Amino acid sequence: MSSPVSSTPLLRRTLLLSAAATAALAVVGSVVGLLVAGSSGLWSALVAVLMAAVFLGLTTGTILIANRWYGSDLFVPVFFASVMGGWIVKFVIFLIVLFVLRGQPWLHPMVFLIALVVSIIVSLVIDVIVMTRMRLPHASDVTLPTAAEAEASERRPEDGITPRD
């Protein structure tokens, strides 16, 4: 079932481009990490890229899931719960990952930090590219009256007003 919300194709495109960028960053980051800090650099870069992809993809994914309820009375509460729930899940996962990774002998902190920052910047660049190339009307997700409905609403015999020819 596809969503009638006009942002859905943009969010899907963002997810697809982000997945491709994540694959490229994983390869480049692991090679650079391996050259800079050996196997600890490789694993540090891979964990950072994967972590950024999961966190950034969760937001887009929760909005896409919530968009399925568009048009129903539950849309606003589902949208809010989905986005806030995703944020809470990301926060909890972030804390768990930090506690687990803290002090690990195989983690190279500088490679991890640089890979994480580069991954986030690439994701933001993808978001900007997708948003600047979007073709959405200024008033989206609305239904305009048909010509017959507009004409019928202009003729109101009770007001004694008729449209000019």
Q: Is the pLDDT of residue 82 over 70?
A: yes
pLDDT digits (tens, 9 = 90+) for 83-94: 899 999 989 998
Question: Residue 77 has what pLDDT?
Answer: 92
State the pLDDT confidence band at 132, using cuts at 50, 70 and 90: confident
Q: What is the mean pLDDT of the chain?
A: 85
Question: Residue 56 has what pLDDT?
Answer: 86
* Average pLDDT value for residue range 115-134: 88
Q: Is the pLDDT of residue 40 over 90?
A: yes
State the pLDDT confidence band at 19, using cuts at 50, 70 and 90: very high
Q: Is the pLDDT of residue 162 over 60?
A: no
Alpha-helix runs per DSSP H in 68-140:
75-101, 109-132
Q: Using CA atoms, how far apart are residues 70 and 76, in angstroms rounded to an integer? A: 8
| C-alpha torsion angle, residues 113, 116, 122, 128 (rounded to 10) | -100
Question: Residue 153 has what pLDDT?
Answer: 67
State the pLDDT confidence band at 141, using cuts at 50, 70 and 90: low
State the pLDDT confidence band at 47, using cuts at 50, 70 and 90: very high
pLDDT digits (tens, 9 = 90+) for 70-80: 888 998 999 99
The share of the chain scoring above pLDDT 70, in percent, equals 81
Decide: 73 and 90 in contact? Cβ < 8 Å: no
Helix axes 8-67, 75-101, angle to 10 degrees: 90
Q: Is the pLDDT of residue 50 over 90?
A: yes
* Average pLDDT value for residue range 119-128: 90
Q: Using CA atoms, how far apart are residues 19 and 11, in angstroms rounded to an integer? A: 12
Give the Å distances, CA to CA, from 7 to 15, 88, 130: 12, 23, 11
The set of residues, in sequence order, having a beta carbon less than 8 Å from that of 112 and lying 6+ positions away, is 44, 45, 47, 48, 101
